Chains A and B, each alone.
Chain A
Amino acid sequence: MECLLAINDLHVGFRIFEGHLRVLNAVWLDVKEGERVGLVGETGCGKTTTVKSVLRVLPMPPARITGGQILYNGKDILKMTQRQMSMLRRHELTAIFQDPLQSLNPVFTIGTQLRDIVRDSAIGRGHRLTHREVESRCLEALRVTGMPDPERIMTNYPAQLSGGMRQRVCIAEALSTNARLMLADEPTTNLDVTIQDQILRKLDELVEEQGVSVVMITHSMGVVRDLTQRVNIMYAGTIIESGETRDLLESPQHPYTQGLMASVPKLTGEGISEGIPGRIPNYLDPPSGCRFHPRCERQMEICATSMPSLYTTAEGHRVACYLYGGTL
């Protein structure tokens, strides 16, 4: 199947006063039509930078894309003009961010914001909607996200809604553009588990219905397991392991993924592992070779000198680690 989104060997850096932050370092990611892909990593590993690069909303400078391609439907996003890019953002890509208070404008009502999006995306497709059509589509969009009393919500300001409600509004906005690819950047991290469960189930249902492809960015392994077919694990700006979700969670291969899985507290109550010693490296001066090697229990000599590429260990399972390939 044709890839809808393919990120090939992306490198992104930031030039700041102290020097050059080399944040993204070999990010490989592909999303097929209708597929749901997870991107998992800890705080500061570059998940959001990746999303922002795809949307081309990274502030440049200080950010600089130093290598690689982002292909959307075969066309390189990084080479598009501003105009092409804004058309793409309007009709093809959509995003949900972690904090809905930052993605909703506090001084306009939900209705004003939603109507704009609905009207605008219809114009982009060549029809001009009447007032009544806009209104009914907005209400419908809110209703499908499971919002009680959408008429009232339309007249509310974001501050009048609860966190879960705001996130539902964001989902309604994201889906009302009929986009083909949704980038969901930690959409439920700030929410309580019961609300998270509701939102994720709704999202799952709607995405399935509309056939939207999703990149789900999160740090929760559980969320990824519930929602995605394939998952990519990211560490310090590098994709270190990717594979089918169930398969990868059951038998993680990279030492980092193994450590991560062992530190997730489980309902079976077998205790919690010590976690992974050390912390994420400083991007000003990242470790040479494999960026994980200073924290790795199974490091070898080669790990400090050269960076492993992604080796295929099983059907669809790839690991960037010298334990699984490479010439020694």
Chain B
Amino acid sequence: MSKLPILTVDRLVKHFPTKAGLVRAVDDITFDVSTGDTLGLVGESGSGKTTTAQCVLGIYPPTSGRIVFEGAPIGVMFNRRNRELKRKIRIVFQDPGSSLNPKRTIKQILSVPLKVHGIGLKRERLTMMSRLLEMVELPATEYLYKYPQAIGGGEKQMVAIARALATNPRFIVLDEPTSALDVSVQGKIINLLMRLARELDLTYLFITHDLSLMRNVATQVAIMYLGKLCEIARTQEFFRTPLHPYTKMLLSSIPVVTDEEESLKPAKIVSKGEIPSPVNVPSGCSFHLRCPERMPICLESDPEMRVLDTGHLIRCHLYSP
């Protein structure tokens, strides 16, 4: 990997104190994303994927750890970030139905980021908005004056993408952008995102729970479990030799549609148990309660992240020296 990382997350920790105890939403994770890459952050609900993204965006300040974007530390709250930084990092949310204001037309929705960031002169903005809509393959004349409720779910998501693009960002966090959509619409959105990444040289942090989608989209995949990363690898490598028992469990649980895919799945690992509450994190390796290859050491000590020769990062005692 010769490219410089655009985003580096270094020992990020985010804890939430609650009445029930300390919620360890994100517990010491380290990764970086190179310019032009798409990092697929995959995990079950409650694994801390969204909290990680929200720390990157500055919605929460990290409890400890560093987030570095283009060489500058950015681990502070949103309101203490400068406007330039907010312009460069944008987000697309899961449900476009609730992330677009139903009382505003698409033109009004798209004009907000332009106004806030003072992009272009007032009279140029209409053309800019039309160009944004064309970038996401929506005919501008037809859509500018519509309300979100008048268009379909896929089209709404395209508007949300256009809004994210309005400030000419470098980095976009995609928080499950297609999981609220049907598969026949998903394809279009994904291809659109991939084309935009190529044309505008964007970097994505793609949060999802769909590993088969990541096979087709991500350049790098990271698996998260209970606030910690289990495994990170380049996509090819990741799917060729999944190493972590949790990854294998996830992969073998995917319902697939062809025999060819079936043969790519690791040998059937019976999935058992559920993700424990992040308030009571199990001792040692947090996955040991569900792990089919549990060893005595797993109950006592938490494994360290190790780099294998292939560039594969793994956090599991099975691969300890």
Q: Do A and B bind each other?
A: yes
Give the interface of A toward B (CB within 8 A): 42-43, 162, 164-165, 192-198, 200, 219-223, 225-226, 249-250, 259-277, 279
Q: Which residues 159-181 of B have a CB within 8 angstroms of A? A: none
A265, B184: Cα distance in complex, Å: 10
With CB as the reference atom, state the residue of chain A lying closest to B215.
A269
**Are B258 and A249 neighbours in the complex by a CB distance under 8 Å?**
yes
**Residues of chain B lying within 8 A (CB to CB) of residue A164:** 274
State how many angstroms separate the Cβ of B2 from the closest Cβ of chain A: 24
* Chain A residues with CB under 8 A of B199: none
Report Cα–Cα, A250/B258, bound state, in Å.
Answer: 7
Given contact pairs A274-B188, A279-B154, A219 touches B254 in the complex (Cβ within 8 A): no
The 24 listed contacts between A and B (C-beta, < 8 Å) are A43-B153, A197-B253, A197-B271, A198-B272, A200-B255, A226-B255, A249-B257, A264-B212, A265-B216, A266-B212, A266-B216, A266-B261, A267-B211, A267-B261, A267-B264, A268-B258, A268-B261, A270-B216, A272-B191, A272-B216, A273-B187, A275-B184, A279-B154, A279-B185
Contact (A272, B44) CB under 8 Å given A193-B250, A266-B212: no
Within 8 A of A (CB), among B233-273: 235, 239, 249-258, 260-261, 264-265, 271-272
- Which of A43, A195, A269, A272 contacts B274, CB < 8 Å? A195
The answer on a CB contact under 8 Å between A192 and B184 is no
State whether B257 touches A264 (Cβ < 8 A): yes
Q: Given that A193-B250, A249-B257, A272-B191 are contacting pairs, would A219 and B182 also be in contact in the complex, using a CB cutoff of 8 Å?
A: yes
Binding site for A on B (CB under 8 A): 44-45, 152-154, 182-188, 190-191, 209-213, 215-217, 235, 239, 249-258, 260-261, 264-265, 271-272, 274-275
Question: With A and B bound together, what is the CA distance between A162 and B278 in angstroms?
Answer: 13
* Chain A residues near B184 (CB-CB < 8 A): 42, 259-260, 263, 275-276
Are A196 and B253 closer than 8 Å at their CB atoms?
A: yes
Interface centre among B209, B251, B252, B261 (most CB of A within 10 A): B261
Evaluate whether A192 and B45 lie within 8 angstroms (CB atoms) in the complex, with A271-B216, A272-B216 already known. Answer: yes
B255 with A222: CB separation less than 8 A: yes
Instruction: Flag if A267 contacts B256 (CB, 8 Å).
Output: yes
Would you call B257 and A275 a contact (CB within 8 A)? no
Given contacts A279-B152, A279-B154, contact A265 B188 (CB under 8 A): no
Q: How far is the CA of A193 from the CA of B271 in the complex (A)?
A: 9
Question: Are A272 and B250 neighbours in the complex by a CB distance under 8 Å?
Answer: no
Which B residues are CB-close (under 8 A) to A200?
255
Option from A267, A275, A279 in Cβ contact (under 8 Å) with B265 = A267
Nearest-neighbour CB distance to chain B for A219, whole angstroms, equals 7
Partner of A268, one of B45, B217, B264: B264
Question: Nearest-CB distance from A262 to chain B (Å)?
Answer: 8
Query: Out of B183, B185, B253, B254, which one reaches A267, CB within 8 Å?
Result: B254
Contacts of A277 in B (CB 8 A): 188
Q: A270 contacts which chain B residues (CB < 8 A)?
A: 216
Supposing A198-B272, A269-B215, A272-B191 touch, asked if A263 and B258 sit within 8 A by C-beta, the answer is no
Q: How far is the CB of B251 from chain A (nearest CB, A)?
A: 8
Residue of B nearest to A270 (CB): B216
Give the top 10 A-B pairs by smallest Cβ distance, nearest first: A222-B255, A275-B187, A197-B253, A192-B44, A263-B187, A42-B182, A194-B271, A276-B184, A265-B213, A267-B261
A219-B182, A272-B187 given; 14 more Cβ-contact pairs under 8 Å: A165-B274, A194-B250, A195-B271, A197-B252, A197-B253, A198-B271, A219-B183, A225-B255, A249-B258, A265-B215, A267-B215, A267-B265, A268-B258, A272-B190
Instruction: List residues of chain B with CB within 8 A of the CB of A276.
Output: 184
- Complex contacts, A162 vs chain B, CB 8 Å: 274
Contact B257 A266 (CB under 8 A): yes
Q: Chain A contacts of B216 at CB under 8 A?
A: 265-266, 269-272
Contact A266 B44, beta carbon cutoff 8 Å: no
Please give me the residue from chain A that is nearest to B189 by CB atom.
A275
Q: Are B183 and A266 in contact (CB under 8 A)?
A: no
Q: Once the chains are docked, how many angstroms separate the CA of A58 from the CA of B191?
A: 39
The answer for the CA separation of A264 and B187 in the assembled complex, in Å, is 8
Q: Is the CB of B261 within 8 A of A275?
A: no
A171 to chain B, nearest CB (A): 15
A196 / chain B contacts, CB cutoff of 8 Å:
253, 255
With the chains together, A265 CA to B191 CA distance in Å? Answer: 12
State the Cβ distance, B268 to closest chain A Cβ, in Å: 10
**A128 → B minimal CB distance (Å):** 37
Chain B: minimal CB distance from A228 (Å)? 12
Interface centre among A222, A249, A264, A265 (most CB of B within 10 A): A265
Give the contacting residue for A274; candidates B187, B251, B260, B261; CB below 8 A. B187
Q: Are A222 and B254 in contact (CB under 8 A)?
A: yes
Nearest chain B CB to A27 CB, angstrom units: 20
Once the chains bind, are A266 and B182 in contact (CB under 8 Å)? no
